[in-house]
Amino acid sequence: MRRHVNRGIMLLVGALLALMPFQLVAAQGPSLSADLFVLLEGGQVMRLEAGARFATAVTSPDQKVIDFGVAPDGAWVAYRTAAPDAGGTGPFLAITSIDGLSGQVLEFEEAGQPPIVGRGQTLAWSPDGTAIAYTTAAGLRVYLAGLGEDGGPAFINLSGGPFLNLIWSPGGGYLAAEAEADSWWVYRRQVDGMAYIGQIPASAGLAWVREGVLALAPPTGGLITLDVTSGAQTTLVGAETIVSRPAVVDGARLVFLVHEASGQRFAARRFGTVSLTGGDFVPVESSRELTAAMRWLPDGTALAETVDGALTIVEPRTNSRQPIMQGVKAYAWGPPAPVEVAGLTLPADLYFLSRDEAGVAQVWRLPGDGSPATAITREPRSVIDFAVAPDGGQIAYSSSGRLLAAAVDGSAARELSPIGERVGAGGQPAWSPDGRLIAFVRDGIWLIPSAGGARTELITDVFSENTPPPDIRVYMNPRWSPDGTMLLIDVGYYEGRSLALLPITGGEARPLPTAAGRGTWLPDGRVLAWDYGYTYTEPGLYVVNPADLSAYTTILNNTWHIFDARPLASAAAMILRAPGGDVMGPGVAQPFLVPILPDALPIPQGQGGLIEAPLLAPGGSFAAGLRNASYDEFGLSGRLVILNLETGERVAVSTPGNIWNLQWGGVR
């Protein structure tokens, strides 16, 4: 849910820091499989990108941070600040993007302070990105995105503790909270909040092996799994072996410390691994004493420890030590970098813009047959925007102030019309259903034959130095009706925008009655409109009949914040729901099947996931979008990620660099 507009109480930190990078202790960048975030003793959060030599600031030096948590996408950090009597500017709970371009204060005094620090994670972001749990003097407080009034956040309090460490389950449905004396309290996520479900009297460490199933190290020895719902147990390591600090590696194995005898969990000279099915435990000798204060790295190959503020990575087999940084109070890991695949079998070809080897933006195609992405234009100057013909055989695109058309492999390119040399201006081309005409933008909306010929102006922008602000009209983004007689367009005003209908014979643009700002045509000629809920737009899902613009039908009301919608027929659509319109943080998309009926009852459909700017594929079973997204001269861009909405699988796909302006082709 990366937002780059001021809404509510914002906190823009990184862009204002003007700090020199923080020098590491090591002469070279450490070999880390994930980004490392540290809280310095002075109260500032820093980020060490994997392989980098310098750490960069995430929070301002003017804010004394007391604890923090990294979002599951690694692009956001939540943190609490100290009260003024402790030298801080708080107390408050805030989130910030690691690039410093977005931030938000979530609450002030109600956020509380952690009763115990330095012994675990006292602020933890759920793996699905929709909740943040943090310890308080009374127990726990949990921030839940999108569950408050009008789709805003909600906060709930849970008694217990005092707690010193928080661990979410892999799907975010459960939370384990560690109290003193190795006891653990377990809570379950519910539709409207969280509920206490039980307590584990003692375990020397704990790890979630899958949703609802814990790995425990009982005081009597051994390593077991426990289903917190049914109570079913499985022994992975026998009770004759004294175990502590289990951690999951790659979702398939556990790694842990092995002690000589019961009661000696404060130190170990061995460690071990075991599969989640058990039966293959083999202890490994360590070349040094391992302490319970050490924590496994995400890949399970080494441990991290802090001694007098010095953070060091220790490889237990060889006792090789890699100093990282001095003055460290706490640390946390970002997600491991995903392994990219060259291609993926998809229901349609995927097109996008990305730079070529010369740094020029071109149109690229990722074939749905699993082949790698290739460039299909070879323009000397950057392509601004494009559209693929309905039959998939041609593309139209904007470059060098011209509208061009070409075969879908980029050959036989021909100029159709000049469109101007305004900075960042493109023609926003749209093919008619029969492929014979192209609607485009040139200080208004125009039509031109796709084979070339005379162009026709349908409507002209009302925008000049002398235009009064209330009269400004800028017409954009044409989309053809199924019968080819009408265009759905965007109308930009001095403040805000709306959807409107424009006949291809010209005339006035007729605004749609709904305040939703995004839309497409249903096969029967009605308009499906929706919105996430940015400034001047209304969230929800609506249907408008072009024959009667005096009213509209509400399908989903304004508590539904929608990233994207894809008609499956005139009677149903797939949507991707966001947690809330005023919520910052990771992009979390949840799929629903929605009947096109008044006040419909949407049906959860498959699995959601973390994704920025998601775009539903034909059929609604996949979504393409971005990860590690940020803004540049072309707008929001990032690396390609594909969500399989039926299974929840999230796949990173290789691209030449950052990509933007994603578009699906027709069904294969």
pLDDT at 107 over 70: yes
| pLDDT (average), residues 332-352 | 93
pLDDT confidence bin for 667, thresholds 50/70/90: low
Sheet holding 267-275, edge to edge: 242-249, 253-259, 267-275, 282-291
Q: How far is residue 528's CA from residue 269's CA, in Å, rounded to a whole number?
A: 64
Question: How many other CB atoms are found less than 10 A from the CB of residue 232?
Answer: 10
pLDDT score of 282: 86
User: Higher-confidence residue: 79 or 1?
Assistant: 79
pLDDT score at 263: 57
Asked whether residue 532 is domain-assigned, the answer is: no
- Can you give the pLDDT at residue 192? 82
Looking up tokens 């997600």 gives 335
pLDDT in tens, 245-302: 999 998 889 999 998 865 556 678 899 999 998 889 988 998 888 887 889 999 899 9
- The answer as to whether 448 is a domain residue is yes
CA–CA separation, 567 and 573 (whole Å): 4
Residue 29 falls inside a structural domain: no
Residue 172 forms part of a structural domain: no
At 491 the pLDDT is 96
How far is the C-alpha of 621 from the C-alpha of 668, rounded, in Å? 14
Q: How far apart are CA 279 and CA 157, in angstroms?
A: 41
Each residue's pLDDT tens digit, 576-606: 999 876 678 888 999 999 999 999 999 999 8
Q: Which whole number is the average pLDDT over 489-495?
A: 94
User: What do you get for the CA distance between the two ends of the chain, in Å?
Assistant: 31
Q: What DSSP string runs through 37-93?
A: EEEETTS-EEEE-TT-SEEEESS-TTS-EEEEEE-TTSSEEEEEE--GGGT-S---E
Kindly state whether residue 299 falls inside one of the protein's structural domains.
no
Domain total in the chain: 1
pLDDT at position 319 is 85
What's residue 421's pLDDT?
59
Mean pLDDT of 225-244: 93
Phi/psi at 352 (nearest 5 deg)?
-160, 170
For 292-336, the pLDDT digits (tens) are 788 999 989 999 999 999 999 999 988 888 999 999 999 999 998
Residue 305, domain member (yes or no): no
453's CB contacts (< 8 A; 6+ apart) are none
Percent of the chain residues past pLDDT 90, beyond the cut: 72
Instruction: Determine the structural domain holding residue 423 and report its residue range.
Output: 381-511
The DSSP H or E segment spanning 501 is strand 497-503
Considering the chain, what is the average pLDDT of its residues?
A: 90
Question: Hey, what are 554's tokens?
Answer: 């509400």
Is residue 91 situated within a structural domain? no
- 487: domain CATH number? 2.120.10.30
Q: What pLDDT was estimated at residue 262?
A: 58
Q: How far apart are CA 313 and CA 352, in angstroms?
A: 41
Q: How far is CA 87 from CA 45, 100, 123, in A?
A: 16, 23, 20
* Residue 166 maps to a domain: no
pLDDT given at position 15 = 33
Query: Among residues of the chain, what percentage have pLDDT more than 70?
Result: 93
CA atoms within 13 A on the CB side of 383: 30
pLDDT digits (tens, 9 = 90+) for 610-638: 999 999 999 999 999 999 888 888 889 99
Cβ proximity of 165 and 180 under 8 Å: no
- pLDDT at residue 1 tops 60: no
**pLDDT: which is higher, 649 or 266:** 649
